Structure 1
Amino acid sequence: MPPPNITSAISTISNEDYPAIQGVNDWTHASLGGVGISGVSKNGIGVLGKSTGGNGVVGTTRSDHHAGVLGQGTMGPGVHGTSKGKSAPGVVGENLRTGPGVLGKSTSADGTGVHAQNTGGGQGLYAQGTPAGRFEGDMNVTGNVGIGIDTPGFKLDVADRIRVREGTNSAGVWFFQQVPQQDQAFVGMDGDNSVGFFGNTGAGWGLTMDTTTGNVGIGTDTPGFKFDVADRIRVREGADSAGVWFFQQVPQQDQAFVGMDGDNSVGFFGNTGAGWGLTMDTSTGDINIPTGNINLVQGDIFLGGADCAEQFDIANGQQLEPGTVVILDEEGALRESCASYDKKVAGVVSGAGNYRPGIILDKRASEEGRAPVALVGKVYCKVDAQTGPIEVGDLLTTSSRPGYAMKAADPLKAFGAVIGKALRSLKEGQAMIPILIALR
């Protein structure tokens, strides 16, 4: 009797290990083919096979061009497999030789060879084997794909390493932006021995690593050192000051630091006792060497200044401008000269005109109440030609005009009171002229 609720054209039951219905077509012309059993239904099922122990439907063929079971559909699916078992598949394809177990084909540009769908939260397509499977051509996936994981959390979720092989171009991954609809960056191989990051909007190979040497380059794809930068770098301040530590393998510690010492000072720090050996004030350009010596083995030191000066304390109430002739008082402090041929003359306050001191001795942290006096070199000096015109090469001494020098006309009085030699002439009046300091 037929199964309940099914209207059948033919219904048979077999309780033995034999098929209930068997159809055989032994036509040998494979190009023409034939059908063993054909079932057609306008609304119901064309062929229904059920079995409580064996296979519901078995189709076999000895033809290389035809299928053991063929399902065709003009509106619905050609073959539909349903399983109500807990772990039994709806459709099983098996091949005991070299062909595919299941083959899906489509000749339409809008169709798909195999379409996998799951509306219950499970997997749309599951492949298992050693190897698990192989895909060729284009594959469109709307959900997440997991490799080595059955609960993928991203569009592609891999539970182990992946390998990207070189094809017609180098191996790597392009990153595409929806706006402006183009590849923006590439991560992969730059030739046979270089891997890095490529910016597609002008940067080029911004960062690369030589896979042979381990050298890393920024702005260059041929780094010659462990870290090779083709342009400037910026080191920002973090929890500590900005800079770079230099570590020695022996004795396994940081030996030196180059960087910022506060907000306005940069320098070199020795970590084994020297401390800040050399610093520069970033506001003034002043160089400070609080400890240690400067050793010059070969070569010269070039200074842009014109004289060697030394700082002295200024006597109370004195206002000394550059170019002023000064003397020392009983306390060793500077005062403006005011007498002719004064043997207490100390020199000229440095810094007038176009000349600046090249070296300043006894310089203190605070310059308040102190002034640099030129001891050697060229300096601009206030001179007075009232007692006689001054020619180039004339010896100069103090004058009665406060802060001014004059020509030393009396050699006997000038002994011990000479400031230096005039480097420019002055016929009359007062002026500021360059002189060569030569105290004697």
Structure 2
Amino acid sequence: MVQGGSGGIVQPAPNDLTVEGDVVVRNGSRTRIRLDRETGSIFAHNNEGQIVFQWEMPGNNLRFGGGSDSNADADADLVMFKGNVANLRDLDQATFHVNTRLGTMRIGGNDTAGSMVCLDANNNQTVFLDGAAADLIIGAPGASGNIILRGADAPLQNRIQLDAENANIRIGGNKRGGDCVIFPPDATDRSNLSQATIHLDGEVGGLRLGGNNTNGAILLRSDNSEERIRLNAENAFIRVGGNNRGGDVVVYPTGATNLDDLSQSSIHLNGDAGDIILRNADCAEEFDVAEEIEPGTVMVLDAEGKLRQSVDPYDLI
């Protein structure tokens, strides 16, 4: 039915239909579609008379869905198909599907790789989500990439940040200790930190390497990839030096002020010279004793390499 004003229907050309007033399509007493003459808005109603589709003017806003408390199937979806699809009711053939009931958006499929691109005000690509390569690329000229993960506590606090500008990964803080945990292939429970083979613990400032059938090791190499220092848990070895560098182990007292000054050290193991330097200290070694002795007794080594009491002014043994 066409509702017209006093002018009625005017047909200036055979293929034109001009209406002065609203255009209303009814099903019996129910209004199903209405075109508003004042604004140019289009409204569609469900069987209950509620608006479920609205193309609103001015503003050029499109709204659809809702309008029913009893019919969950009335949720609105936005579905787009490629030109070669014959059955538009088969949602699995769509390459773009916004599902309002689930709050999801699916892009791609059906021989088409989905992607999403975000641009800044100057049309520079700043975010690219690539379904073909499973890549997420963030950043552009003048806008470095940044990913921030926050906890659920209010007020919201940053807990993990990937900062491309400074090439930093920040973990923890704001009432949470950060951990970086790496698991071996056979780990079955990634929530169990004891199954990890590498655990960097920000709470206690600790680094644990190894365990779970894996021997921990630390290798330090020079700028030309020559191994210089190795800590090996399997053999309980600390190897220092070699590959064109003499190894040194240096221990300093509490009063040392310059760790580059070896003369301030109290103990110095010099790999080049093969020396142990003890400054103002004694060096003791444990020996087997051939007999019971009293403290303070002068001792000598016998032929078997055991300590015994010295009995001669000049012991020739």
TM range (shorter): 0.3 to 0.5
Q: Which has the larger radius of gyration?
A: 1
Tell me the TM-score normalized by structure 1: 0.34
More strand by share: 2
